[in-house]
Amino acid sequence: MEIFKRMEQHDYEQLVFCQDKTSGLKAIICIHDTTLGPALGGTRMWNYETEEEAIEDAIRLGRGMTYKNAAAGLNLGGGKTVIIGDPLKDKNEEMFRAFGRFIQGLNGRYITAEDVGTTVADMDLIHEETDFVTGISPAFGSSGNPSPVTAYGCYIGMKAAALEAWGDDSLEGKTVSVQGVGNVAYTLCEHLHQEGAKLIVTDINQEAVARAVKDFGAIAVAPNDIYSQQADIFAPCAMGAIINDETIPQLKVKVVAGSANNQLKEERHGDELEALGIVYAPDFVINSGGVINVADELYGYNNERAMKRVETIYDSITRIFEISKRDGIPSYQAADRMAEERIDRMRKSRSQFLRNEHNIISRR
Ligand SMILES: NC(=O)c1ccc[n+]([C@@H]2O[C@H](COP(=O)([O-])OP(=O)(O)OC[C@H]3O[C@@H](n4cnc5c(N)ncnc54)[C@H](O)[C@@H]3O)[C@@H](O)[C@H]2O)c1
Ligand SMILES: CC(C)C[C@H](N)C(=O)O
């Protein structure tokens, strides 16, 4: 992989490789863009098969956070970390303490939180070494696990997508096929079940499937069969790149709306959904509830204030469909435009000279 060439492609600021032999830590921090503020984005722990795969994931996820934070109106840039390892076998206290020290070394340019494979307990360990971490235990006056809030944002975003598809945002009687019933999707299923939606679920973890079947009367299907289900809405809530050349022809749904990051394998897959008349709720907007919630910790966490901002996801999704129709562009492009325009506006508004705290001439 030609790393600098890849970084130039979407103007990445910084990639940090962190290694600690004692704990076995191998982490890659990607800071994509800090125009709006410090880069906030979670830490994913995953058993990547190759280092290239891990770098690519950090890079794609980091850029996604720039767009997510910008579209959510947060004064934060975008970044992400991946830790190479099996979250069920390879974690230890020293690993997260070592990682916390690496974050501290970045002096606030990057702030972390949970993602797939990491928990509140891991964030608490990081917090032993740095304050540049969110999603830590409520015992510290913080917001805790972001997943239930992500799930709620995803639920109201799905309602906004339903309004676009059927002219009515009720999900009662709608069938939703859910890929991955982990932290976010379990709570999403709970909201959907309460509203009277029917659920079809899959997961590579059979315990997670069994729980959704038992608690919500969901129908279970094999992982590869989830795309071809006769459903109204497909909710991707596992890993990325699942809207692709193989899966699009299988879809029978009218709406794609779920929590997974980077759902479109390539941008052209968003064009294909649009051409098929499938309403796509852009991933980085519908799944922004968690980051909105943890970002509030930076002001001294206030649940009421955070949830008020999370509620705006419904309007943001609606607005994206309006821009899409007005400008004749697919919804994913409308969401990108919304985020990019805010970053450009803020970049320009900050162009006057400001002397910073170190008395160094700076334009930031
Ligand atoms: N947790 C959050 O607050 C949050 C916020 C924004 C976005 N997201 C994104 O939402 C997605 C889910 O996050 P989560 O926190 O619920 O993670 P999680 O690890 O708790 O859940 C993911 C689930 O997907 C399952 N899975 C993995 N590969 C699968 C496959 N090929 N087929 C079926 N199931 C599969 C896993 O077994 C797991 O149960 C991720 O893409 C994450 O980046 C999460
Ligand atoms: C809670 C957030 C900071 C990170 C979350 N995993 C996301 O992708 O948005």
Domain with residue 58: its CATH number is 3.40.50.10860
Same domain, 107 and 26: yes
Q: Which distant-in-sequence residues (6+ apart) come within 8 Å of 221 by Cβ? A: 177, 200, 201, 202, 229
State the average pLDDT over residues 20-30.
98
Short-list 20, 26, 78, 34, CA closest to 54: 26
**End residue of a domain, out of 134, 164, 181:** 134
Task: Identify whether residues 186 and 93 lie together within a single domain.
Answer: no
Contact at 8 Å (CB) between 66 and 78?
yes
Residue that is last in its domain, among 92, 108, 134: 134
Choose one of 65, 134, 184 to mutate for the ligand 2 pocket test, by most ligand atoms within 8 angstroms of C-beta. 65
155 and 129 within one domain: no
- Based on the fold, state whether residues 99 and 165 are members of the same structural domain: no
| ipTM score for this prediction | 0.98
pLDDT at 359: 52
pLDDT digits (tens, 9 = 90+) for 260-316: 999 999 999 999 999 999 999 999 999 999 999 999 999 999 999 999 999 999 999
**Whole-angstrom Cα distance, residue 30 to residue 13?**
8
Assess whether 207 and 331 both reside in one domain: yes
Mean pLDDT of 23-33: 98
Confidence of residue 173 (pLDDT cuts 50, 70, 90): very high
Report the pLDDT averaged over residues 110-120: 97
| Nearest-CA residue for atom 42 of ligand 1 | 260
Tell me, yes or no, if the pTM score tops 0.90: yes
Tell me: do 276 and 156 sit in the same domain. Answer: yes
186-195 pLDDT tens trace: 999 999 999 9
Q: Are 107 and 160 found together in one domain? A: no
Q: Side-chain half-sphere of 298: how many Cα atoms within 13 Å? A: 19
What is the average pLDDT score of the chain? 95
Same domain, 9 and 150: no
174-214: pLDDT as tens digits = 999 999 999 999 999 999 999 999 999 999 999 999 999 99
Assess if residue 359 is contained within a domain. Answer: no
Query: Averaged over 150-163, what is the pLDDT?
Result: 98
In a domain, 293, yes or no: no
The neighbour count for residue 248, using CB atoms within 10 Å, is 17
**Does a structural domain hold residue 72?**
no
Residue 290 CA, closest ligand 2 atom number: 1
Residue 246 lies in a domain: yes
Assess whether 181 and 232 both reside in one domain. Answer: yes
CATH code of the domain covering residue 166: 3.40.50.720
pLDDT band, residue 1 (cuts 50/70/90): confident
Q: What is the pLDDT of residue 356?
A: 66
Quick check: is 235 in a domain?
yes
Q: Are residues 100 and 189 in the same domain?
A: no
Residue 215 CA to ligand 2 centre (angstroms): 26
The active-site residue out of 26, 80, 159, 174 is 80
Structural domain span for residue 326 = 146-287+318-339
- Looking at the predicted structure, is the pLDDT value of residue 69 above 80? yes
Q: Is there a single domain that holds both residue 107 and residue 154?
A: no
Instruction: Confirm whether 80 is a catalytic residue.
Output: yes
Domain assignment present for 172: yes
φ/ψ (deg, to 5) at 292: -60, -45
CA 294 – ligand 2 centroid, Å: 8
**Within-domain flag for 253:** yes
- Whether the CB-CB separation of 193 and 174 falls below 8 Å is answered with no
> Does residue 352 fall inside a structural domain?
no
Q: 245: Cβ–Cβ under 8 A, 6 or more apart, which residues?
A: 265, 269
Instruction: Give the total number of structural domains in the chain.
Output: 2
Tell me what pLDDT residue 29 has.
98
CA atoms within 13 Å, Cβ hemisphere of 48: 18
Co-location of 125 and 202 in the same domain: no
Q: What does the pLDDT look like over 35-68, one tens digit per residue? A: 999 999 999 999 999 999 999 999 999 999 999 9
